[in-house]
Structure 1
Amino acid sequence: MTSRRGFLAGLLATGLAPQASWADLGCPAYLSAAKQPDGTYTFVGLSAQGTILFRCPLPDRGHAASAHPKRPEVVAFARRPGRFADVIDCRTGNQLARITPTKGHHFYGHGCFSHDGSQLFTTENEYETARGIIGVWDTTDNYRRIGSFASGGIGPHDVLLHQKVGGLVVANGGIQTHPDRGREKLNLDSMQPNLTYLDFDGTVIDQMQLSDDLHQNSIRHLSMHDNGTVGFAMQWQGEPGADVPIVGLHRPGTSPRLLAEDDPRVRNLNGYGGSIQFSADGSTIAVTSPRGGVVQVMDTASGLLQQEHHLADVCGLSTNETGFVASTGAGQLVALNKGKMTVMSKTDLRWDNHLIRLR
């Protein structure tokens, strides 16, 4: 009779052995980078109730992350102008690989996997030419870089797979930077943000650019609804105190819809959309502002601002079954359901900008 060890060895040899999955970790609901009390940085998996399930060390401050669609591993991106993205085995906390940008590039803090998880796409700055770049990495070969193509603009920040059109949608923020100048913005007078829809070979499928009077409204963060509508959050780079919209919706081939344009409460965002997220049913979309200390929830059909929640240093944003979940720099995880705000958990960690939901 074949032994269990021999049987498993045979499965491994034929490639039929079961691969590790997110279920092996108890199916964490959320992921976030954080700063620990001792000043070091970590990447954390959380349950649906906000309980910490695992921590993985990071060499420096993180920003956003992308979870592999099948394997229990995550790519945690450094904050712009970042020069590392760590691939982490979330079962052990071990670093599986460290991705570093090609010479003359830096990362922008975001990326996404292909549908089957075989490729990773990263937003990058080719800083001597100010070209936005999408890097392509082979996840089946230790995350080896296998190509790149233009992002369709300057300063690509967020990137998502587009469920309907296929390919990618990129938030080209329009802001030119150079690592020798830190986080200084070098072209505010001439910036031209856009949303660019790209095929996987870099072909431009569609592109949306804001009107001239909003050319300083940097398109930064994205959310995708199942019907193909893209929600985008902006960060105003013009004169402080201007009454400008911060949230928009777009579908390829159409003009953008800017939400709550005439509502004076939009000023409470202080010109800054930190994270954006559709509700589970797509009827509302929420945006956070750490500068304004507020979360606003808008109706996607009417464009009206429905709810406003005041929460100091709030930025991370995700969903639960009935509403939204937000994270703060004070270590809070907060549920926003049916107009009510409830603290789910409180830790000694300082949650960073984004709260990623595992679906």
Structure 2
Amino acid sequence: MREAGKVESDGGRPHILLEVDPGHAHVIGIDVGESHVRVELLDLKLSVQASALYSLAPGRHDPETVVEHIVSGVRSVLAESDGRPVLGAGVAMPGNVEYGPDAIIHAEAFGWNEVPLGRILSERLTPLPVHVDNGAMTKGQAELWFGAGRGARNAVIALIGFGVGSSIVVDGKLYRGATSSAGEWGHTCVQVAGRLCRCGSRGCLEAYVGADGVLDRFRAAGGDVDLGGHGVEAALEKLLDDPSETARRVVDETVEFLGAGFADLLNLFNPELIVVSGWAGLMLANRRMDDIVAATRAYSLSQPFQHVKFVPGSLGPDTVAQGAATLVIEHFLSAERLTP
């Protein structure tokens, strides 16, 4: 820690403000996504110092492949380190994470069931401490600490990409629930007996507003989806800018489903702030934020709607790895507070 200024008190000595010294040490953040594994070496203010990126082919999300990419990426960024101490590695995963030393992962999108990722990585990366959490949770914490959520006491940070999730902030802290699965907003039902979701259920929000779900609905409506060599992100961007009647109808429906989903969160949790983040979320927010807010108004109770503000995430579309690094910083700061 280092001094960041002083605040005069009503009497006695002024209060000294402290902040994390970004040059004190490094941390590693790891984003395991649908299409990639991203590993970043960061300072304590989450500025990227070195990075490594590995593509994941469709269907190649087996634990062995993911672990090898993580280990290779950590070794790569450590080789570029300037010799300052590295406090640990944080890993952001899709799905549910059972907290504890084993950090057991349940990720239906990957076909993972009870994979002890924390234990596996701790053994492979020893003596580097490893912390694992859900990607939406880590993204939410990063926005809460360093981004659009700063200062909010009750907020929702939505993460919309291939998958759909959220972080619920209650009284300034992330709400995790009884088994740490709170925030699985993408698997709330918006259409009874609706589209089949990859989780195995039907009518999930993710099946309508997740990137694959939007493109699948466009394809089913007769639209042409050419993934080519540019991938899902480029295809979604092309769809959002497509002036054709079919494209407009699908995007309008997506906005309405998203508004209904936000209304559920608004009615349940009464946040003061909703942050729209994730690469697909930012694509939608940058083009249709006013329409998203209007759709939310149509499906929500009037009183809580009057007191909520919508903003796009401010940390950019590819910051889940930075969010993962907050796990290490949080552990470091907790240890600092406990040190006499």
Query: Shorter-normalised TM-score: what interval?
Result: 0.3 to 0.5
TM-score normalised by length of structure 1:
0.34
Superposition TM-score, scaled by structure 2 size: 0.36
More strand per residue: 1 or 2?
1
